[in-house]
Structure 1
Amino acid sequence: MIIAVNVVLILFATGTFTGLETEHHYDRGLAYNDNLRAAEAQEALGWTVSVDYVKTDPPAGADPHGITLEAHFKDRDGQPIDDLDVRAMLVRPTSAGHDRQADMAPQGAGRYTAHVGLPLMGLWNIRVLADRADAHYQLNRRVQVR
């Protein structure tokens, strides 16, 4: 009985995890100093950024679960930032092939939103990327979608 249980667990474990944590890991390692400089530049901006989601109906004809992402951007003086190109990436950390991307639309007062369909509930990594001519910002957050 113990052997049968172990075989089932091994089959399940090897069938659900690809073993790939980071694509192009060698190249990313070589760019480590560039990443440090980007992090320092982001810190120097002094921005306050938050991201959250609410569960909603999925988009028509899309995945079975829907969420609306909402990000808020403020500068170092607490003023809203409205001139950004913002996009979101949603990555399923436990299995490959379910990633989603969405452009976030400006709503005014430093608020950006996107309606996203998800194939599965559970754990997701959300990466919000914001760009404008003189600045780049990235925020990562792990959420449990229920």
Structure 2
Amino acid sequence: MSNADTRGFRLTGWHVLAIFVLFFGVVFAVNGVMTYVALSTFSGIETPNAYQEGRDFNERLAAAEAQKALGWGVSIEETFEAAGDGAEVRVLITARDAGDAALAGFSGTVTFWRPVVQGEDVVTDLTETAPGDYEGIARLPARGHWEMRLELDTGTDTPYYLEKRVWAGGRQPS
């Protein structure tokens, strides 16, 4: 054997083991990061008709543009009061047209639902307390994050929608 043969690199069992450990370590690390990102960003919202809702998406965009073109000013003010494990919420809606005139004579509902829990939806009907002012009271079964959807029946084919995320009762996390 010459000196050149003993000074060259030799692949040993330890090298092969290190390569396997490094390779699979990278694979597991990437899988772990991807799993964490997937689980931490999933809102939990499910829909039984995802295909049909996807097909109707362009119609929803057109309805939203038509609603925006009306120039209406609809504001939602909610006040929460702790009630047992849940909260009681009082919703005040003020609806004005583009000329700041009251939008009176509508009926409507406010729906509360949890982004990550099924079966706790709460729907409350709105009562017109003054021209363009509507009020509703709902009892939510739990405190925390809720999605709130206002739906005003304006007498046309398309109701007026407005959605908002709210925090119900207790101390809000920072």
Report the TM-score range of the alignment, normalised by the length of the smaller protein: 0.7 to 0.9
Q: Is 2:51 aligned against 1:26?
A: yes
One-letter code aligned to 1:143: V
Match of 1:41 among 53, 62, 66: 66
In structure 1, the residue matched to 2:75 is 50
In structure 2, the residue matched to 1:5 is none
Change (3 A) 1:55 1:26: same
Q: Which protein shows a greater Rg?
A: 2
Which is strand-richer, 1 or 2? 1
Which is helix-richer, 1 or 2? 2
Q: Given that residues 112 and 122 in structure 2 are in contact (C-alpha distance below 8 angstroms), is that contact kept between their aligned partners in structure 1?
A: yes
Q: Distance in 1 between matches of 2:114 and 2:162?
A: 16
Alignment deviations for residues 14-48 of structure 1 (CA, whole Å, 9 cap, x no partner)? xxx99543331111001112112211210121101
**Divergent runs of 4+, >6 A:** none
TM-score of the superposed pair, with normalisation by structure 2: 0.66
Identical aligned residues as a percent: 30
Q: Shift of residue 55 of structure 1?
A: 2.1
Change (3 A) 1:20 1:93: closer
Gaps of 5+ in 1: 1-12
Gaps of 5+ in 2: 1-38, 170-174
Change (3 A) 1:77 1:44: same
TM-score of the superposed pair, with normalisation by structure 1: 0.78
Alignment deviations for residues 54-108 of structure 1 (CA, whole Å, 9 cap, x no partner)? 12476xxxx8421111111000001111111111110111211111111110011
